[in-house]
Amino acid sequence: MEQIKNYIEALFSSLPKTDEVLRMQINMLSNMEEKYHALLGEGKGQAEAVGLIIAQIGSVDDLKQELGLLDQAPQGALQAEAAAEAAIGSPALSDNPLRQQYFEFKRKMGLFIAIAVGLFILAPMTMALFIGFAHFPAFGFFSFFLCIAVGVGILIYFFTQDEKYREELDLKKAKRDRKTEAISSTLWIGTVILFLFIGFFLNMWHPGWIVFLVAAAIQVWIDYRAKA
Amino acid sequence: MGAINSDAIRGFNDIIILYHLLDKDSYGYEISRQIEALTHGSYLIKETTLYSAFSRLERNGYVAPYLGAESFGKQRTYYTLTQAGREYYQEKCQEWLKVKAVIDSFIRGAESQQEQ
């Protein structure tokens, strides 16, 4: 009977653990147990009973296929996956294995961002420490850049991973279309050029920086128009 | 009669399962046993098929589950046919009769039975 339990657990292991799926699993297990005892009652040996039962259960693919076809409409592979998701009940954040993985990842990312920031703060501190000792002032610069480099490396790694997950899970906000992107880019590049111009030629760096605030306001207006 | 290809019978599992609930409530293993008996061993329904069918029928409101007598410490999930389920069964039966008539037109030996 243990083997039957294990087989059924393995069968369901890769499926999202929604209420519906779990009830199906329990139902199947309970009925297979009854069948097992019925077969023993007929005089079959334990091994034979287990063999007969497992042979008639079906495979993981069978199960996935049955769940995928729940809507009973002719569907392409992609739609079947989506139908399977909908059929087994809308997966909460913790159901989809990939989402669960992403959730775990996000936690790690939070931790490492904190570590990276810690390193950034640590950088000048280590520099001050080494220079204070005066024996090896060069070490100060070395440790400073090392801390910054590691911190930046951590951030780059985690943000690229995050992008991958978002793309995979289709979480990207598709709000910005190409036109808006183009306009926004032009706006900021233009603002930088304007700033440099009035800085170098009119020497108005000081009030000049306001152009960036104006650009930010214009960006908000652009986003507003894009939504409409 | 050899064993039936499960692909060939896929669309009819609902009829097969609901049939057993027409006159009385039943549960998984009992239905599976009955199917084997009624088809004289020709159709051994896979458990994956059977239990996902229960899940689907329940979700569509054609059957209603309830916990019944205990067996070996676990309660059996019994199913009862709802009114909607009864209507669905009738629809599926009509569908089969139509399909049967159509296909029979192309079965050598059975064509003559089709007047239309």
Q: Are A64 and A72 a contacting pair, CB within 8 Å?
A: no
Q: Over the stretch A142-167, which tens digit does the pLDDT of each residue have?
A: 888 999 999 999 999 999 988 888 87
Q: Do A57 and B29 touch (CB under 8 A)?
A: no
Cα–Cα separations (whole angstroms), residue A68 to A9, A82, A85, A205, B34: 19, 8, 8, 64, 26
**Distance (Å) from the C-alpha of residue B113 to the closest C-alpha of chain A?**
31
For chain A, what is the mean pLDDT? 83
Q: Which residues of A touch B48 (CB under 8 A)?
A: 11, 57-59, 62-63, 66
- Give me the pLDDT at residue A73, please: 43
Cα(B54)–Cα(A53) distance, integer angstroms: 19
Q: Tokens 């097992």, residue?
A: A36
Q: Do B46 and A57 touch (CB under 8 A)?
A: yes
Complex ipTM above 0.90?
no
Cα(A132)–Cα(A114) distance, integer angstroms: 27
**Distance (Å) from the C-alpha of residue B98 to the closest C-alpha of chain A?**
19
Q: Which residues of A touch B44 (CB under 8 A)?
A: 56
- A185-211: buried (b, 16+ CB within 10 Å) or exposed (e) per residue? eebeeebeeebeebeeeeeeeeebeeb
Q: Over the stretch A122-148, which tens digit does the pLDDT of each residue have?
A: 998 888 888 777 666 778 888 889 999
Task: Specify the pTM.
Answer: 0.52
**Distance (Å) from the C-alpha of residue A109 to the closest C-alpha of chain B?**
38
Q: Over the stretch A44-103, which tens digit does the pLDDT of each residue have?
A: 999 999 999 999 998 888 888 888 754 444 444 455 555 555 555 444 444 567 778 888
Query: In chain B, which residue's Cα lies nearest the Cα of A24?
Result: B51
Q: Which residues of B touch A70 (CB under 8 A)?
A: 52, 55-56, 59
Cα(A43)–Cα(A90) distance, integer angstroms: 45
